[in-house]
Amino acid sequence: MNHKVKTAAAFLTLLLMALLVSCSGSNADSSDGNSDSDSDSDSDTDSDTDSDSDTDTDSDTDSDSDSDSDSDSDSDTDGDSDADSDSDSDSDADSDADSDTDSDSDSDSDGDNDCPGTCVAQGACREMNGTYLAEYTCPAESPVCCSTDTTDADTDTDSDTDSDTDSDTDSDTDSDSDSDTDSDTDTDSDSDTGGSDGKTVVPDASWTCGVPEGLAPPSDGALVMTITFDLGEIHDVGDTHQGHRRILDINGGSISGDLTGSVTKGSLDLELTLSNGNVELEQLNMMSAQDGTPIFLRVCGFAPSGDNVVRVIPNFEVNKSTAYNWLNTGNFAGERILDEQAGTITLKVYDMSNVTAPAEKVTLSDPDGVPNQLWECFDVTGGKGDPIFTESVGLGASISVGDFGGGSRNIIPITGGTVTGNITGNVLYGGADFQLLGGNMIIDARYTLETNDGELILIRNCGSFGALVPTFETSATGKYSYLNENVYVSSDPGGGAGGGVSITFYKRL
């Protein structure tokens, strides 16, 4: 009996030793992670796109990480900062993920450049309450593409997606972090107006352009027309008593949109940049519709410092008995964009009837102690003292706009001339006498002088016969800076050489 027990014990001992040897051979050194991955992918493609994708992924990951970090930092930019940081982290993660995805997609798209709406006569789109589509062209007899839908594309898309994801994650993280930070920061900032995108801009009270409560972004409205001016010479008057003045000659241009036509050479863009960077703008434009109907456009604009786009209010005047009377009564605003490199000024005009001004505002203010430029005539009286200089001004053919509802406008272009007296030089081509006819005719002449020694003088001679008052604007540091005092009066226009007129300016008593 004892012999049998001993034999059995020996047999069990040998069997146990064999098992131990076998296990030792199969578990030699194990990495901290085992990963098995199977992936199958099938894809079919034709003129429409169909894709099927099956992916199975099994992943087991074990990760141990210890990290210690010490950091000291000193920074001085109007401030000091010290920081110490210690961090220990241990992380174990196991992750299994299975994902199946099937996707089918069909897409068909086509487009063309044909007008997606209706080609109509100019002015008709506005009457239809339609939208002018500037990117499309129409025949000359119906030049405006008008529609309430600006898209011309068909697209069909079918997409099916199935996704199954199983994820198991075990994560243990131990983290110790100590951080001490001392920071002193001093910041001084002075910021002028700017960044008016999406905001209402409120002009200075001296140059409201008829919108003292402010002007919403004009592009929030519906585009009515685009006027492209051909830029001529830029006359840099320099820093005057009001700001930095530039006179931009307009050599012509074109009008497209709900109004089509052309711009007459001799129109003016008068740009004033104030010492704080804000811009005040006036334009005096002679234009005609496609059928030859005369149109006068006077533009008033303003912009915060740093804005490249000037917001404007366009004031149209056209004979109210024509098909263009809607220009006299419309609620318009616009954007004036100057591109000196391309030699163009672009004026985009929008209908603002359905626009609500944003509550957020940028308010403009003129610098203190600086004389304001005037929209209306300079209204003073006085007798004639010593003569200053005399002009002999050449004139072009009169342009009769007619009764626009606020009077009858007559425009006489200025084509040049000479200056004699205490100041000698030439009258430059451009500008005009924009006369408002009626019981008491008002003269409003705008033009530029260039003296023989190279100084530029911007002139506005305004008022009724017998009470004309000129205003001058020239370099504040130039030889003729005394003209900026604006203490002068003008004679009435008299007959001049070659069908022009002669005008003499006097010191005002």
118 lies in a domain? no
212 lies in a domain? yes
| Interval 246-270 mean pLDDT | 98
Q: Which of the listed ranges 192-201, 372-381, 454-463 does the model predict with the highest average pLDDT?
A: 454-463
Q: Are residues 419 and 334 in the same domain?
A: no
CA distances from 124 to 6, 129, 148, 259, 399 (A): 118, 9, 14, 9, 26
Q: Are residues 332 and 247 in the same domain?
A: yes
Question: What are 129's two structure tokens?
Answer: 């309450």
CA distances from 331 to 261, 315, 375 (A): 20, 10, 20
Report the C-alpha gap between 229 and 82 in whole angstroms. Answer: 59
In which band, very low, low, confident or very high, does the pLDDT at 149 lie, cut at 50, 70 and 90?
A: low
| Interval 234-262 mean pLDDT | 98
Domain hosting 400: range is 384-508
| Interval 351-377 mean pLDDT | 96
Query: Computed over its alpha carbons, how large is the radius of gyration of the chain?
Result: 40
pLDDT at 272: 98
| Interval 155-179 mean pLDDT | 41
496 lies in a domain? yes
Question: What are 146's two structure tokens?
Answer: 């008008």
153 lies in a domain? no
Round the average pLDDT of the chain to a whole number and report it: 78
**Residue 379 vs residue 349, higher pLDDT:** 349
Q: Are residues 219 and 345 in the same domain?
A: yes
Q: Among residues of the chain, what percentage have pLDDT more than 70? A: 69
Report the C-alpha gap between 372 and 206 in whole angstroms. Answer: 6
Least confident range of 24-33, 106-115, 296-305, 436-445: 24-33
pLDDT at 95: 41
CATH value at residue 490:
2.40.160.20
Q: Are residues 442 and 496 in the same domain?
A: yes
Report the C-alpha gap between 164 and 175 in whole angstroms. Answer: 34
pLDDT at 112: 54
pLDDT at 134: 72
Neighbours of 443 (CB within 10 A): 20
Q: Are residues 259 and 399 in the same domain?
A: no
Report the C-alpha gap between 147 and 129 in whole angstroms. Answer: 9
pLDDT at 498: 80
Contact 425, 434 (CB under 8 A): no
Contact 456, 445 (CB under 8 A): no
225 lies in a domain? yes
For residue 470, give every residue at least 6 positions away whose Cβ sits within 8 Å of its Cβ, in sequence order, or none. Answer: 378, 459, 460, 461, 462, 486, 488, 489, 490, 505
Q: Read off the pLDDT of residues 206-221 as tens digits, 9 standing for 90 and up.
A: 999 999 999 999 999 9
Which strands form 95-110's sheet, in the order they lie side by side?
Answer: 35-45, 49-59, 95-110, 154-169
In which band, very low, low, confident or very high, does the pLDDT at 183 lie, cut at 50, 70 and 90?
A: very low
Task: State residue 239 phi and psi, 5-degree precision.
Answer: -80, 115
379 lies in a domain? no
Q: Are residues 221 and 350 in the same domain?
A: yes
For residue 191, give every residue at least 6 positions away whose Cβ sits within 8 Å of its Cβ, in sequence order, or none. Answer: none
pLDDT at 496: 80
Boundary of a domain, candidates 295, 329, 363: 363
**Residue 283 vs residue 33, higher pLDDT:** 283
Q: Read off the pLDDT of residues 93-113 as tens digits, 9 standing for 90 and up.
A: 444 434 444 444 434 444 456
pLDDT at 113: 67
**Residue 88 vs residue 457, higher pLDDT:** 457
Q: How many domains does the chain have?
A: 2
Is residue 80 predicted with pLDDT exceeding 80? no
Report the C-alpha gap between 235 and 246 in whole angstroms. Answer: 6
Report the C-alpha gap between 426 and 236 in whole angstroms. Answer: 16
Q: Read off the pLDDT of residues 117-138 as tens digits, 9 standing for 90 and up.
A: 888 877 777 777 777 777 787 8
Q: Are residues 319 and 442 in the same domain?
A: no
Report the C-alpha gap between 279 and 194 in whole angstroms. Answer: 11
Question: What are 76's two structure tokens?
Answer: 């001085």
Is residue 43 predicted with pLDDT exceeding 50? no
Of 125, 115, 120, the residue nearest 152 (C-alpha)? 115
Boundary of a domain, candidates 363, 397, 430: 363
Is residue 268 predicted with pLDDT exceeding 90? yes
95 lies in a domain? no
Q: Are residues 341 and 228 in the same domain?
A: yes
| Interval 72-93 mean pLDDT | 40
For residue 408, give every residue at least 6 positions away whose Cβ sits within 8 Å of its Cβ, in sequence order, or none. Answer: 401, 402, 436, 437, 438
Boundary of a domain, candidates 363, 396, 419: 363
| Interval 211-232 mean pLDDT | 98
Q: Are residues 342 and 468 in the same domain?
A: no
- Which H, E and C letters describe 48-93, residue by residue? CEEEEEEEEEEECCCCCCCCCCCCCCCCCCCCCEEEEEECCCCCCC
Q: Are residues 234 and 330 in the same domain?
A: yes
**Residue 338 vs residue 100, higher pLDDT:** 338
| Interval 314-320 mean pLDDT | 98
Q: Are residues 357 and 388 in the same domain?
A: no
Is residue 271 predicted with pLDDT exceeding 70? yes
Task: State residue 460 phi and psi, 5-degree precision.
Answer: -130, 120
Q: Are residues 462 and 405 in the same domain?
A: yes
Is residue 240 predicted with pLDDT exceeding 90? yes
Report the C-alpha gap between 477 and 486 in whole angstroms. Answer: 16
CA dihedral 375, 379, 380, 381 (to 10 degrees): 140
**Residue 335 vs residue 34, higher pLDDT:** 335
Task: Judge residue 319's burial from the number of C-beta atoms within 10 Å of its C-beta, 0-12 exposed, 13-18 middle, 19 or more buried.
Answer: buried
For tokens 């051909």, what's the residue?
230
pLDDT at 28: 37
Report the C-alpha gap between 409 and 107 in whole angstroms. Answer: 59
